[in-house]
Structure 1
Amino acid sequence: MSDTLDLRDIPAPKRHPKVHDAFGNLESGEALTLVNDHDPKPLFYEMQAEIADFDAERYEVEERGENEFVATLPKK
């Protein structure tokens, strides 16, 4: 199962807390899909450093347009 969170209309300071909350609500083996207006590389590094259940090896990101990046954050 995968939940999707579109961050493009969320103010920047509120994005990471929303991601952390949504990720925390996932069950093991599920993934959170993010739609963002830029490559979420800083979020990837933050998750990798702070969240033990984040499966960095299965993380994926795809640029679908100039302001559309879709990232999959899997949970161990």
Structure 2
Amino acid sequence: MNTYAATIKVTEYPPHLKHKVIFETFKKLNPSESMLLINDHDPKPLHFQFESMYAGDYHWEYVEQGPEVFQVKIDKL
């Protein structure tokens, strides 16, 4: 079983706070720690944003790919 330093249920946040909470949580991770995102849709736009901001500093892995629930493990490298 995986252990995550943080779990974010994205649907619990208002739209204007979602990415802010996600990126603030990622910044607080220590290298080799992971966070889990749980969402009701595929967070592809977020993945593109991670790639533009943190290329080479993270690893993105789908744990569950819908259709109703998407879970993404994001590791800080």
Short-chain TM bin: 0.7 to 0.9
The answer (yes or no) to whether the contact 2:7–2:35 under 8 Å persists in 1 is: yes
Query: Which of 7, 32, 36 is equivalent to 1:4?
Result: 7
Determine the structure 2 residue equivalent to 1:25: 28
Q: Secondary structure of 1:59's match?
A: strand
Aligned equivalents of 2:57 and 2:41: distance in 1? Answer: 20
The answer (yes or no) to whether the contact 1:53–1:75 under 8 Å persists in 2 is: no
Structure 1 residue identity aligned to 2:70: F
Q: Secondary structure of 1:4's match?
A: strand
TM-superposed deviation, 1:37: 1.2
Distance 1:63 1:11, change over 3 A: same
Normalised TM-score (structure 2): 0.82
The answer (yes or no) to whether the contact 1:35–1:69 under 8 Å persists in 2 is: yes
Normalised TM-score (structure 1): 0.83
TM-superposed deviation, 1:54: 3.4
Aligned equivalents of 1:65 and 1:22: distance in 2? Answer: 25
Q: Secondary structure of 2:11's match?
A: coil
* RMSD, aligned CA: 1.7
The answer (yes or no) to whether the contact 1:31–1:75 under 8 Å persists in 2 is: yes
Structure 1: give runs of 5+ residues left out of the alignment. Answer: none
Structure 2: give runs of 5+ residues left out of the alignment. Answer: none
Aligned equivalents of 2:28 and 2:39: distance in 1? Answer: 20
